[in-house]
């Protein structure tokens, strides 16, 4: 596979064809924030926090670095006033959903994002899709998915599959940047847990 020469933040970098800007930056120790990216999963490009500026053949544009493949003579900037402004806005919107997420709060500090800028819509899920994609692509179980659409979209375990597959797995939990996933699982677990004897007695 051929090698490509490009520049990231003024540093000349040699990369393998087929890699994304984010992967190459990570290999070089250059930090780009990424919320919906996972090295075991197909590129997704959902959260846009990994946005960078690229200049190719004299044209400059903003792209999501986790899905944009490196090209010969590409110039990449990972920080600028414009990039930071966009990341700040994305964080403020996400924090309205998950105001206590440590990962978001760390990034908010770095980008000067105000966690109270937008009215709170605390669904806790920021729709990164990591849990859904990990379960489908890595575990091949599809025990968790999205229900509804738009702002009402939320995460849901499929009780029938979760009862069989999730108790001894739970690998998706640590991927979630908020507490939404654990909360959804606890709710689902209640559906497939057998009733305790005291509950059965009191029902009778």
Nearer to ligand FES, 34 or 163 (CB): 34
Q: How far is CA 87 from CA 39, 50, 62, 94, in A?
A: 21, 8, 12, 10
Residue bearing tokens 């919107």: 93
Q: Return d(Cα 32, Cα 21) in angstroms, integer.
A: 10
Residue choice 13, 52, 63, 64 for contact with ligand FES (CB under 6 A): 64
Q: Which does 87 bind (CB under 5 to 8 A by kind): ligand FES, ligand SF4, none?
A: none
Q: Which of residues 141-160 bind ligand SF4 (CB under 6 A)?
A: 155
Query: Helix, strand, or coil here: 62?
Result: strand
Residue 54 interacting entry, from ligand FES, ligand SF4, none, C-beta within 5 to 8 Å by type:
none
Cβ proximity to ligand FES: between 65 and 188 the closer is: 65
One of 47, 108, 155, 181 touching ligand FES (CB under 6 A) = 47
Name which of residues 84 to 143 contact ligand FES (CB under 6 A).
none
Handedness of CA 109, 88, 45, 57 (dihedral sign): negative
Whether the Cβ atoms of residue 103 and residue 91 lie closer than 8 Å to each other: no
Exactly one of 22, 52, 70, 131 binds ligand SF4 (CB under 6 A); which one? 131
């Amino acid at each position: 596979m051929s090698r490509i020469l490009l520049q990231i933040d003024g540093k000349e970098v040699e990369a393998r064809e087929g890699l994304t800007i984010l992967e190459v930056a990570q290999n070089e120790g250059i930090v780009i924030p990424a919320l919906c990216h996972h090295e075991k999963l197909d590129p997704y490009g959902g959260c846009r926090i990994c946005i960078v500026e690229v200049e190719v053949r004299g044209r400059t544009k903003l792209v999501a670095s986790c899905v944009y493949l490196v090209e010969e003579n590409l110039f990449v900037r990972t920080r600028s006033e414009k990039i930071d402004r966009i990341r700040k806005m994305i964080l403020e919107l996400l924090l309205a959903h998950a105001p206590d997420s440590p990962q978001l709060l760390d990034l908010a500090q770095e980008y000067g994002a105000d966690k109270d800028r937008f009215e709170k819509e605390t669904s806790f899920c920021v729709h990164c899709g990591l849990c859904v994609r990990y379960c489908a692509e890595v575990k091949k179980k599809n025990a968790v998915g999205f229900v509804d659409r738009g702002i009402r979209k939320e995460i849901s375990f499929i009780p029938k599959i979760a009862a069989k597959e999730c108790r001894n797995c739970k690998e998706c939990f640590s991927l979630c940047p908020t507490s939404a996933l654990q909360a959804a699982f606890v709710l689902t677990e209640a559906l497939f847990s057998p009733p305790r004897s005291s509950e059965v007695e009191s029902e009778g």
